[in-house]
Amino acid sequence: MEYKARIAGVPVVLVHPRNTSRTCPNCGHCDKKNRPTRDHFHCQSCGFARPADGIPAVNIRGRDEVMQPYAG
């Protein structure tokens, strides 16, 4: 239970949704111009583009993997 709670809590504390939604999951470039509209993401650095809905989840999932104390 302790292990599970720790994983669930860490991303909430460390990830800032506003910055995450502007940060490219492909190259890490953070720019408000990456979000020309609320529903669209287009990286100004590498050109990565996709519907904006999936961006925060991708970034949070990536950090969650990094923060896990062990795998398996």
Min dist CB 25 to Zn ion, Å, is 8
Q: In whole angstroms, give the CA distance from residue 66 to residue 37.
A: 30
**Residue among 43 and 52 whose Cβ is closer to Zn ion:** 43
**Residue among 10 and 49 whose Cβ is closer to Zn ion:** 49
Q: In whole angstroms, give the CA distance from residue 15 to residue 47.
A: 23
**Residue among 29 and 50 whose Cβ is closer to Zn ion:** 29
Task: Please report, as ranges, the residues that interact with Zn ion according to CB under 5 A.
Answer: 24, 26-27, 29, 43, 45-46, 48
CA distances from 51 to 5, 32, 57, 63 (A): 31, 15, 12, 20
The DSSP code for 15 is -
Min dist CB 2 to Zn ion, Å, is 36
Min dist CB 7 to Zn ion, Å, is 27
